[in-house]
Structure 1
Amino acid sequence: MPTYRTEPEDEGRLLVQGPDRPGIVAAVSTVLTDIGANIVALDQHSSDPHEGQFFQRTVFYLPNLTARLPELSERLHGQLAEELGLNWRIVESKRPKRVALLASKSDHCLLELLWRQRRGELSMVVPMVISNHPDLATDVRQFGIPYFHVPISAETRPEVEAHELGLLKGNVDVVVLARYMQILSPSFLEQLGVPVINIHHSFLPAFIGAAPYDRAKERGVKLVGATAHYVTQDLDQGPIIEQDVVRVSHEDSTADLRRLGADVERRVLARAVEWHCEDRVMTFANTTVVL
């Protein structure tokens, strides 16, 4: 049976974001203290102390949290939204994110996430894997997770995306493209209504198109890297969540570059998914703050 990491009962996460001004930290602390909550962790960032953007992630413990959420939400709305003009949301830590994984033929990112999820390293459940190829079905089913083979072509894209939306909408909190080699249409993203995380090799800006590692080898690259980002309607231009690199040399073959690149990709994507599932990533404009 699939497992997932369990978080403490009655633990909540409060995410606050908006125009910076004096008194925000005090207001958050006062509301939580007055209702009987104990703050166990707090991270914050201001983009500029003068008319900048403020970001805060507070982890707190409140007995009988689920039942007391309406009361807490009412107090936070009055103090943070009405008085300070801030956006906020509360997440119960014990509720894992429902994460759908989309993949094609490459297995390294997909199996890395499934393996970490099964070991309890990621606070998520995976209700489904969708792929435009049948290649990974046997591997995925060993994890006890449904595998949907949904072929796609330029001619069938509208019908296929409608089918995928039928599987995803209302059933998942986030979609992760674990080397899914298809472009999601703007209409699909708009109708989906949940965040989408993608991973790609960091050669993309310089080595666009097919066979990037062959072209990178020809140019004598010295670093191989990967970038995990949120998907927007602008292809590969969404807010970046995580990046990493590994040094290579002239002695490395193209196959070595692919192997090293795959290793970086799976580690970077796993960290990005972990941080998202822990509600550590906050976005503003086209950038992120990871708390």
Structure 2
Amino acid sequence: MTTTHPQYILTLSCLDQRGIVHRVSGFLAEHGCNIIDSAQFGDAQSQLFFMRVHFSAEDPALPDAALRARFAEMAEGMRMNWQLNDAREKPRVMLMVSKIGHCLNDLLFRYKSGLLPVEIPAIVSNHTDFYQLAASYNIPFHHLPLAAGASADAKRAQEARMLEIIKTNDIDLVVLARYMQILSPELCEALKGRAINIHHSFLPSFKGAKPYYQAHDRGVKLIGATAHFVTGDLDEGPIIEQGVERVDHAMDPETLTAIGRDIECVVLARAVKWFVEHRILLNGHKTVVFK
């Protein structure tokens, strides 16, 4: 829908109760707003209600600050957790990578071609392999090396520099596009709800090096990938998206690896796109994704 009016995306969660949709839609109508699309979900297990509303603000006499202040008054009475985002503002994303670049390359292509509505002001790596790739997209590349067996002090210093880059560039989302270093619990906490990781779905079955070779040796019939929020529990954060592909005995380990990498690219790209479109809401250890 094309409109010259300011557009917003409202996301909220609160204790499930009668009248939430009525209250929200009524508020928007009373303040000269037109709903473009809306989705909601009530979770019987957590007893929480989740909602995403994309709307345009068509009353020129109601400035942004007033709209937010008035909604805050209503939200407080219903004990809502809520966010109101400018739908036309592109979130700022920092990509992190080590020595395997398929996910990085895929995200950069989607960004450049306009398929991923983001700004990418920084790429961070503990290696220099993708310095030229970053330069080809005119994106600053930050090399933050961390030697094998580095001390705790060295890791803290590296992560402090990482946080400095995040702060300096006003980063909204950090994407671990096959960044192969474990983040400290402190950094995971600092990035809670705004860092996404991708891994093959063999975990924890095939840990360590060459998981697709391990899978081939075991004769697996399905391979896949999982995108999830980063937490202090390694690879166990709230799941955002997953994908699978059937494989068979005729495929060698290299073929499995190639298929697996394709799945990783697609799954991570979906997760990032849904995040920047404000479609993901946390529900305890799970997520609600309004597609």
TM superposition score category, shorter chain reference: over 0.9
What is the CA-CA distance between 1:217 and the residue it aligns to?
0.4
> In structure 2, what is the equivalent of residue 214 of structure 1?
213
What is the CA-CA distance between 1:161 and the residue it aligns to?
1.1
**2:96, 2:4 → 1: CA distance?**
30
Q: Residue 159 of structure 2 aligns to a residue in which SS?
A: helix
- The worse-fitting range, judged by mean Cα deviation, of 13-22 and 62-71 is 62-71
**1:157, 1:126 → 2: CA distance?**
24
> In structure 1, what is the equivalent of residue 32 of structure 2?
36
Q: Residue 137 of structure 2 aligns to a residue in which SS?
A: coil
Q: Residue 203 of structure 1 aligns to a residue in which SS?
A: coil
**2:201, 2:279 → 1: CA distance?**
23
> In structure 2, what is the equivalent of residue 163 of structure 1?
161
> In structure 2, what is the equivalent of residue 198 of structure 1?
197
What is the CA-CA distance between 1:191 and the residue it aligns to?
3.6
What is the CA-CA distance between 1:64 and the residue it aligns to?
6.8
**2:143, 2:47 → 1: CA distance?**
46
Q: Which has the higher contact order (CA 8 A, sep 6+)?
A: 1
**2:191, 2:233 → 1: CA distance?**
16
**1:172, 1:185 → 2: CA distance?**
19
What is the CA-CA distance between 1:123 and the residue it aligns to?
1.4
State the identity as a percent.
Answer: 42
Contact kept, 8 Å, 1:132 with 1:149, in 2: the verdict is: yes
- The worse-fitting range, judged by mean Cα deviation, of 147-156 and 17-26 is 147-156
**2:99, 2:36 → 1: CA distance?**
43
Matching of residue 252 in structure 1 with residue 248 in structure 2: no
Structure 1 residues without counterparts, runs of 5 or longer: 1-5
Name the amino acid aligned to 1:58: V
- The worse-fitting range, judged by mean Cα deviation, of 218-227 and 62-71 is 62-71
**1:206, 1:39 → 2: CA distance?**
46
**1:130, 1:69 → 2: CA distance?**
34
Contact kept, 8 Å, 1:17 with 1:54, in 2: the verdict is: yes
Aligned residues: 284
**1:20, 1:136 → 2: CA distance?**
47
- What TM-score does the superposition give when structure 2 sets the normalisation length? 0.93
**1:190, 1:231 → 2: CA distance?**
9
**1:221, 1:72 → 2: CA distance?**
54
Contact kept, 8 Å, 2:123 with 2:141, in 1: the verdict is: yes
**2:61, 2:81 → 1: CA distance?**
21
Q: Residue 255 of structure 1 aligns to a residue in which SS?
A: helix
Contact kept, 8 Å, 2:199 with 2:227, in 1: the verdict is: yes
Q: Residue 63 of structure 2 aligns to a residue in which SS?
A: helix
**2:155, 2:238 → 1: CA distance?**
26
Name the amino acid aligned to 1:26: H
When residues 51 and 214 of structure 1 are mapped into structure 2, their CA distance, relative to the original with a 3 A threshold, is: closer
Contact kept, 8 Å, 1:20 with 1:51, in 2: the verdict is: no
**2:271, 2:60 → 1: CA distance?**
28
| Aligned with 1:10 (options 6, 12, 34) | 6
Matching of residue 147 in structure 1 with residue 141 in structure 2: yes
Q: Residue 163 of structure 2 aligns to a residue in which SS?
A: helix
Name the amino acid aligned to 2:26: T
Q: CA RMSD in A?
A: 1.9
